Structure formats: C-alpha cells, structure tokens
Structure 1
Amino acid sequence: MNATASMCSPRTVRGTHAFKIAGYSLHRGLGVGRYVRSATFDVGGYLWRIEYYPDAEMEMKNGDYASVSLELVSTNAQARAFFEVRLVDQAKKLPSFVVLSRKKPVVFRAKPPTYMSEDFLQPLPYLKDDSLVVECDITVMRESEVAPIATTFDIQVPPSDLSDNLGELLKTGEETDITFEVRGELFPAHRIVLAMRSRVFKAELFGPMGDRTRQTITIEDMQPAVFSALLHFIYKDSLPSMGHLVGDDAEEMVKHLLVAADRYAMERMKVICESILCKTLNVRNVTTTLALADQHQCNHLKDACLEFITSPDRTDDVVASEGYANLKRSCPAVIADIFERATKSRKI
C-alpha cells in the first residue's frame, strides 16, 4: 500500500486602516445618504475605502442612527475578502464595538460596484473630544498567483567555481599565514580555510591551547604526498588525481588518506575513501582493510568487509589466508563480529 498526501492552502494578506472623523458634531445634519470618506488604502494589492454616514444611509423609522460601508475602489478589479469594521474607544474604557463584519469571504467588484454597509445607533459613548475612530481589518484571499510569462530564452548559468578559486589560492600561496613541515617538505596554507574545514585544525590553530603566533607546524607520521592530498581536499573538496598510481600503490594511498581524514575529522573525505576501498576488496586485502575500518570507526567499510568475508563462496579462502591469522592476533574482537555476521547469514 502506498499512501500519499498533499495540501492546498490559500494565501492571505491582512491589513488594518484607522479612519478618524474629527468634529463629529459638525458632520451631523449632513443628511440621510450622505457620507464622509476615508482616504483610500491598500490591502493585498487592492484599494479600499470606508464611507461613514453620520445621519444613516437610509431613512430610519425609529431612533437616531448612523451607517458605515466598505467599498473596493480599484479599477476593473475583483477581490475575495473578509473583514471587520469597528468603533474604537479612544479613552480605552469600553471594548471595541463591531458595526460591520463578514467572517466568510465576500466577492467585491469594482464594476458594478460592490460594497457592504450596516446601520447602528449613534456612537455617542465612543466619541472623545468630538472625534470618532473607525477601524477596519481586511483579509484578502490570494488563492492563485499570476503564472510567469513563458519565454524561449534559456540563460545558461555557469557552474560554481568556488573550489577552483580556493584551489588556485592554495597553488599560488597568496596570503598564506601558516606553514606545515612534513618530512622536510614545506606546505604553506591559510589558517582560516583549514579551521573552516576541519574542527581539529580549528582547535589547533585557534583553540585555547593553540598558539596563534605560531608560523610553522611539524606533522609527524605522515607522508608528504598524503598531506598534500589532504590539503587538496580541504581546498577543493575532492581527492587529487591518482592516475600515476596503480594496483597496490593506489590502494595504499587511499588507506593513508582515510587515516589522515580520520585524524583531522574530514568526514566526507573519509567516506569517499571508504567507498573506494569497498570496490577493491578481494581475498588478499579484505582482512587488512577490515582491521583498518575497525581501528578508525569506518562503519560502512567494516560492513562491506564483513559481508565479503561471510559470503559462502569466499569464507573458506579468507579463513585460510595469512591475513586472517594476523587479524585473529591483532583484532580478536573483529573475529567475533565475523562469527556473529556469519551466524545471522545462515539463519536468513
């Protein structure tokens, strides 16, 4: 069974406009059906206006009434919106009084004009200093967007050249501020780039135990070619070409790079090395590769080695190899992993 789900949610744009009618008493007597207008205001890309009738929109039989209406004034427009028009107590002693409201969307049209109106008793309690504040909230529904105009133009965006720029920075040695010495060979580099890419370098170069004035760092237990490849990956996010290496030399180089990646917490580089070694497994090298994977917590590579060894058509050859005898002496815990994997395989 394949279960899927989707959702359509309309876009809404909300706006509020406050319309203050000063000298309210002077507007009384304007006449039935006559009104004062607010300034036009924009909500959701449409222009709106409040119209207030001090003597009501229509003749009332009983009582002293006023009226208010809301109108869409954009030319040749149509909008779906819900709204609320209320009287605001400027003295903040009374709650706002809603005089006109629609909780469900209403379609407003400019031609023929659509407007909503409501009558109510004269709002004398909401007057302050002979002024009245009418506040309007409008929420416009925007269910659909205008589709972009199709064109025949196809602008080709060039690929990112960030890695090329950083690689050139390493190659030219411009503005380097740290030098690494590896068995007599010198490798200039940039502290900030190293710190950005490796938390180990960051701690060593900028951490509380680091020496920011240090100009040269000596690297022990690493070949110059391996350190050069590590710097290449730090700057270019890829391993250098190893076309000049073949067979065992290429395999050994990748293993050294895996150790360097683990040493400097370069996780992506480490996984790339695991991926390469997974594809070169054979009866002769699988046990040494397994020991390496176990030592450097390479779970993907370790699983591949265990699967290779416990395959029914390979197990006898691997167990008979000299590498397996060395593995039993150097990594007895890994032998238990092999046994456990083999037991599970037989149960499946």
Structure 2
Amino acid sequence: MSPAACRGNPSRSASASAVVVDTATGYHLLKIEGYSLTKGIPTSLSLKSSQFTVGGYRWRIDYFSNGDCADSADYISLFLSLDERANKDVKSPVFRAELYSSMKEGDTAGVVRIEDMEAQVFKLLLRFVYTDSLPEMGNDDEDVMCQHLLVAADRYNLERLKLIYEEKLCSYISVDAVSNILALADQHHCDGLKKACFHFLASPGNLNAVITSDGLKHLSRSFPSLMEELVAMLAPLLSHALVI
C-alpha cells in the first residue's frame, strides 16, 4: 500500500483511564502556651507542631505568630504541611536487597522466595508497591487482613502502608480484639495503635469486660513486659477508683 493510501485511511486506537480519589479525615489539637511570648517571633518564621498521621501520611502545622509574609504581619497564619522528609517512601528496599543478593550469589533467574506469608497478602502488598492504591477487602475479614498487611508492611519497610493499616486497626479495637491488636502494636512498634489500645483499656467498663473474658491472659503469658507497661499505665486510674 502506498504512503498516500495510508494517510487516507488512518488507523484508529482507543484508550481509557480513571482517576480514583480517596479521602481521609482526622484532627490534631494544637495548643499555644505562652501566646504573648510568641508575638516576638519575626514575620515569616514559624513554630511547628508535633508530627501527626492522617490518611497514611505524616503532617505538621506551621504556626506563624506574625504572619508568613509582610502583607500578613498583623495576623496569625496557620498552614497544614506535609512532612516530606518523613513521607519519603523508597519502595521495597528489602526487595531490592534480596534481589541484589540473589544476583550476587549467581542466581540468574533472580528468584526471591517469600516464606511465612499468605499468597493473598503478598499479592495485595505488591499491588500497593506498583499502583500506590489500597486493596478492596470484604467487611467480614477486613480486620484480619489489616493485621496481616501491617505485619507485611513492617517486614518490607513500607512505612506509609504500615501507617495506613495502623490507623485502620484503631477502628477495630474491641473487647474481643484489643489484646491481639495491642500485642501486634508492641511487636511492630506501632506507637499510635498502642496508645489507642491503652486508651480503650483506660475505660473501667472496657477493662472489666476484657478481664472477664480472659483477654489479658495471653498478654501475661507471652508479653510480660507489655503487661507490666499496661499495669503501670492503669495504676493511677485504679488507685483513683479505689479512693472514690
């Protein structure tokens, strides 16, 4: 076919894509102590809040007591800032190390064997690595899968994914689940989840229900140091209840 004929009958192609926007909500209470002293801070200089997590990302609040620029020098300015240094997530550094190691050992196929992890969990983990999207899970097993994915994220140093499922598991803390979730939080250094479990157990009603259901026996046997930390945290509450 001649070039002219090709130009007269152009081939057609079609494609499609979608943008999926997820939302997350949360709050952070910023208290300014010694407000009058902060008025001496020059314009464009700020004080930063402590770091907090919403939607799997780490944030800070920038507080400008005399505005962030000359035009706003007579006003207080507040900005919500993404903590970029904390959110830099180098995808699968553990994978990289394992692949390079297998190549150095002469395994030209580059096969990495994954042990002690269910295939479905690893599949969901890879989906996040390649697409940066969260998997859809059924409501019946979502709490269990969240626990598996948190463990997997910690194992492969995927900090943002770990933060996401740490936040999700906070909503699954209950009388039946708090002991297991607390142990999981302690093992994988999830401070926010651990604090949420302690907050749940600080309620006398919740604590009595957990004790009645023998929910703390597992912690006493397998995590004695965690049990000691829990008792130390609850001691002021229990002593206050006895005085009353």
TM range (shorter): 0.5 to 0.7
SS in 2 for 1:218: coil
Gaps of 5+ in 2: 1-33, 45-69, 71-88
Letter in 2 for 1:343: A
Please tell me the root mean square deviation across aligned C-alpha atoms, in Å: 2.6
**1:6 lines up with 2:42 in the alignment:** yes
**1:322 lines up with 2:217 in the alignment:** no
Equivalent position to 1:294, from 181, 186, 211 = 186
- Aligned pair count reads 160
**1:246 lines up with 2:139 in the alignment:** yes
Q: Distance in 1 between matches of 2:126 and 2:102?
A: 24
Q: Distance in 2 between matches of 1:274 and 1:308?
A: 15
SS in 1 for 2:116: coil
Letter in 1 for 2:143: E
For residues 158-180 of structure 1, give each alpha carbon's deviation from its aligned partner in whole angstroms, at most 9, with x where no partner exists.
xxxxxxxxxxxxxxxxxxxxxxx
Cα deviation, residue 339, structure 1: 0.6
Aligned to 2:155: 263
Equivalent position to 2:131, from 230, 233, 236 = 236
Do 2:99 and 2:112's aligned partners in 1 also have CA atoms closer than 8 Å? no
Question: Which structure is higher in helix share?
Answer: 2
- 1:1-348 counterparts in 2 under 5 A? 1-2=34-35, 3-4=38-39, 5-7=41-43, 196-206=90-100, 210-211=104-105, 213-242=108-137, 245-247=138-140, 249-345=141-237
Cα deviation, residue 207, structure 1: 5.1
Do 1:261 and 1:267's aligned partners in 2 also have CA atoms closer than 8 Å? yes
Same amino acid, percent of matched pairs:
41
Q: Which has the larger radius of gyration?
A: 1
Q: Distance in 1 between matches of 2:104 and 2:204?
A: 52
Letter in 2 for 1:338: L
Gaps of 5+ in 1: 9-143, 145-194
Do 1:284 and 1:318's aligned partners in 2 also have CA atoms closer than 8 Å? yes
Q: Distance in 1 between matches of 2:111 and 2:102?
A: 18
Q: Distance in 2 between matches of 1:300 and 1:204?
A: 30
SS in 1 for 2:205: coil
Change (3 A) 1:208 1:333: same
For residues 186-210 of structure 1, give each alpha carbon's deviation from its aligned partner in whole angstroms, at most 9, with x where no partner exists.
xxxxxxxxx9412211221235985
Moved more, 319-328 or 209-218: 209-218
* TM-score normalized by the length of structure 2: 0.59
Q: Distance in 2 between matches of 1:6 and 1:207?
A: 53
